[in-house]
Amino acid sequence: MEGDMGAATASQSDDNDQKTEEAYRFLHALCTDNKLRDKWKKAIEQSKNASGPDRLSYLDNVISGSGYYTSLTQVLDLVKFDEWDPQGQYPFSVENRSQQEITVYITTAKAPTNPPSLDSHSYYPIYIHVDTVAPGQSKDFKTHYASARIAVCRTSDDFPLSSHVVEDLMPDSQKIQVSANAQPATNQALNFYKSYVTQPYDPISLKFYDVITNTSTDKLSDKVAEFFSANGYPGVDIEAFTLVSYWATNSLYAFPGTYYCYEPQSSTDGFILPTSPVGTISIEDGKATYSPSSGGDSSDLTLAGSKLTTPAATQKKGIYLTGILRDISSENENNKRIILSFVGTRDGKKLIAQPDKQVAFPWYVATYDLAYTAFMTVVVVMNIHMAVHILKAIASDLVYLKNNIPKLVDSIRAWANKTGETAGPESSIGEDVDPINVDVDVDVDIDVDIDVDIDVDVDVDVDVDVDVDIDVDIDVDFLAVVDVDVDIDINVNIDIDVDVDIDVDIDVDIDIDTDVDVQPGMVRGLINQVGKWVLKKGLPFLLKNAAIYFAFQSAGQLLDAWKKADLSAINDNIQPRESTGLGLLINYMLNEKNSIQERWNTFADFAQHPQTETKSLEMAVASIQAAKNDAADNASRNWRWSTQEEGDAVSKMSQYAQNDAYKAFQELGKYTYKGKALPVKIGAGIAMRYLKKL
């Protein structure tokens, strides 16, 4: 009975969440859909003389009849109206001095609570359409809010021009003038937005992330303005950034075009690239329509909060897609474009959409996870900026917000993680399979040094079969927090047939060293450096021949281990999804469909990428050694060579200094012993010894 009640409560909560999300969509549609807005105005007018319950029921039917699974009560809760009437009691005017028609919006957020809510979307901007103002004209308006944030947009494509705060007690603020040159700041802000969300690991993007996550709310606006001024975006401030962020994730004018829809498939052998589109999405003049290839009925779509959906869609019903910007220059050097692509579901089946007719490689496997940090940070900025505006009337609320920002960010982080569950077919690469080959929760350095000396004195006509089975159980106790058990079995089979009268001394030295001295900041540094290389250049290489059983292994647990040595990584709240870039690199290196030389050449490209540090290379190599893979592990166990021969391989790499480390990895890829390429984990051991010398 208790379980049934719990399930019912969870179901009611999910239903309420969906109705709230639908209320957001309805309000957004009132801003973007002229027909719906006219229909709604007419319904408001026709029902104004009806009794309260009758009017409520009538307007509920209008909302549901328009395809939105919500109610007027939920809509009013969002905009803080007692009844629907955008015209309130606080006056303001807008004078349009530009040469283009403008649209005026009031922007708000959910009603504040006591204490202030820390839920993920409590302060996500809500736009309320007010009216348009023709060039050279002026209009008077009223708002419900004593302190109202007004957004002014270009009517032709809804692009934001400026924002203004109208205060009841500040008469001068109530007269808004839109000049002819009101656009440059938001143009520059859009340029930065595109760069940030497609290249979140670039140095300037990392600086921006640092400003957002390490600045108190009372200083954030000033710090953001300083950041933009110092980094080539003069005039851009947090207002301009939040305006274009909202436009890029909510306006169908932002990325018009035809998008080809595919249902990607996969098998145990790998990802099967779809070749025949199941439909197209046409985005034009602020409208989106899905047309199936089968010739069936088309469906209208709305874009709200990066979600492109049919009315009342869920993950299992209708079209439910998340838009993600991609810089495709890494896929094709001659095609330097930033494009919008979509990942999600149609009636529960995987669906992707892209502007190119041909799916060149399975980009959809990891795109969301690689953009995760930027995706989350943009929502954090919009929420915090609006929260400061909404809560500023009560000083104690602002103090509460300032002291609890980490909790708000955690809520948004959880939302971003949940979004990732549907934001890409085969997403969550950073969390599914335990890849660690040492029965781990590894807490710090995995330091396993095994030296086996076999001295055999053999006289004439002696056949010696030596089978050495070494089982080493190592307990690593780091600050008495975690106990790590590492079981390593090494079978050394030596058959010696000696037919001479001499002493034979055989020294077999098997040295497995994954000892990495993890210092503060190194885990984040590794994630950033791998992520930057993957997005700039590496993704198409890493997804070549990607097999399911490789692509779903991750480096997440190893990062968890290192995070305990690098306490800054714990405080930084590094998420499993952020290990995806490293996971892809490891999986590629363990994929036998790629030749050993190809693999180390690709690793060399990573090593050559600007700002790849030696310690990051050590951690990446250690990850390859620690990742569980039967084929690679067996090849490593069965490998035979002497200490001298191993040293020769290290020497071959050591001819290259730190600045030319990538050449050493290229050399490793070419290196052979008795005509055979070195197994990847043997090669990783050689690489680690080389890196330790730098």
Q: What torsion, rounded to 10 degrees, do the Cα atoms 267, 269, 270, 272 define?
A: -60
Q: What is the dihedral of CA 199, 204, 205, 208, to 10 degrees?
A: -170
- Interior/surface letters 98-117, b for 16+ CB within 10 angstroms, e for the rest: beeebbbbbbbbbebeeebb
DSSP labels, 559-570: HHHHHHHSHHHH
Confidence grade of residue 439 (pLDDT, cut at 50, 70, 90): very low
pLDDT band at 428 (very low <50, low <70, confident <90, very high): very low
pLDDT at 464 over 50: no
pLDDT category at 266 given cuts 50, 70, 90 is low
Distance CA 370, CA 123 (A): 25
pLDDT band at 557 (very low <50, low <70, confident <90, very high): low
Of 416 and 489, the structure prediction assigns the larger pLDDT to: 416
What does each C-alpha distance from 560 to 441, 567, 629 come to in angstroms? 8, 11, 19
Question: How confident is the model at residue 436, as a pLDDT?
Answer: 35
Q: Higher confidence at residue 296 or residue 482? A: 296
Does an H or E element contain 299, and which? strand 299-304
Using the CB atoms, write b or e for 656-665: b if 16+ within 10 Å: beeeebbbbb
**What percentage of the chain carries pLDDT values higher than 70?**
77
Q: What is the pLDDT of residue 332?
A: 66
Query: What pLDDT score does 603 carry?
Result: 96
pTM: 0.81
Express as a percent the part of the chain with pLDDT over 90: 52
Cβ pair 373, 587 in contact under 8 A: no
Token pair 């909790």: residue: 407
pLDDT band at 581 (very low <50, low <70, confident <90, very high): confident
What would the mean pLDDT of 199-214 be, rounded to a whole number?
A: 93
The larger pLDDT score, comparing residue 201 to residue 487, is at 201
| Predicted local confidence at residue 434, as pLDDT | 33
Nearest to 160, CA basis, from 93, 121, 105, 79: 105
Question: Between 183 and 31, whose confidence is greater?
Answer: 31
Q: How many CA atoms within 13 Å lie on the side-chain side of 99?
A: 2
pLDDT tens, residue by residue, 343-401: 999 999 999 999 999 888 888 888 888 888 999 999 999 999 999 999 998 899 999 99
Q: Is the pLDDT of residue 14 over 80?
A: no
Structure confidence by residue, pLDDT tens digits, 469-490: 333 332 322 222 222 333 333 3
* Omega prior to 679 cis, within 30 of 0: no
Highest mean pLDDT among 1-5, 16-20, 604-608: 604-608
